[in-house]
Amino acid sequence: MKRTVPVESASAFIDAKINELGDWRGKMLAKVREIIHKADPEIVEERKWVKPTSPGTAVFSHGGIVCTGETYKNVVKMTFAKGAALKDPSGLFNSSLEGNVRRAIDIHEGDKVDEAALKDLIRAAVALNLDLKAKAKSKTKPRRASSKRAD
């Protein structure tokens, strides 16, 4: 079962992750987080997929998951939940390119982040989430009242 941790502790989790890394990865995760919030101030930080073997994953959502922010030994990874459906004119996606749904951006030490292109990608992901949510809502029709007749 997926567990979502309250927003306050999700933000604290991300803060702690950034501080505990103490190297370029922490700085890059902080920078990416800042860009995400600049692109969409309504982004909600969540902590999902917490297991006994994993502290969980930083998730950024608005109308659904926009992207995750993960750190590995040699990379900071942003995985866009519906990345395959997004236009990427700047070519930011460089990982998970073969998937049908997700796309990711692997950022290595020394890489420069194209802030404007990343903001555009984040805004496009939010717009897609909101559009899909609106379409799903319009497809759900209210149930009709029972048409039982009294005999």
CATH number of the domain that 109 lies in?
A: 3.90.1150.200
The reported pLDDT for the residue numbered 5 is 46
Q: Give the model's pLDDT for residue 151.
A: 54
Let me know if residue 61 belongs to a domain: yes
The answer to whether residue 149 sits within a structural domain is: no
Q: Answer yes or no: is 42 within a domain.
A: yes
Residue 37 lies in a domain: yes
CA-closest candidate to residue 67, choices 54, 53, 57:
57
- Alpha-carbon span 37 to 62, nearest angstrom: 11
CA trace torsion 11, 119, 121, 13 (10° rounding): -10
Residue-level pLDDT at 53: 87
Residue 114 one-letter amino acid:
D
Q: Within a 10 A sphere around the Cβ of 26, how many other Cβ atoms? A: 16
Residue 35's domain spans which residues?
4-130
The answer to the question of residue 142 being in a domain is no
pLDDT of residue 146: 56
Profile the chain (151 residues) by mean pLDDT over runs of 10 residues. 57 91 94 97 92 89 96 95 94 90 96 96 95 81 58 54
Contact status, residue 65 vs residue 59, Cβ threshold 8 Å: yes
Give CA–CA dist 81/68, Å, rounded: 8
What is the pTM assigned to this prediction? 0.82
Q: Is residue 150 part of a domain?
A: no
The first and second tokens of residue 54, run together, are 């994993």
Number of domains in the chain: 1
Does residue 145 fall inside a structural domain?
Answer: no
In a domain, 114, yes or no: yes
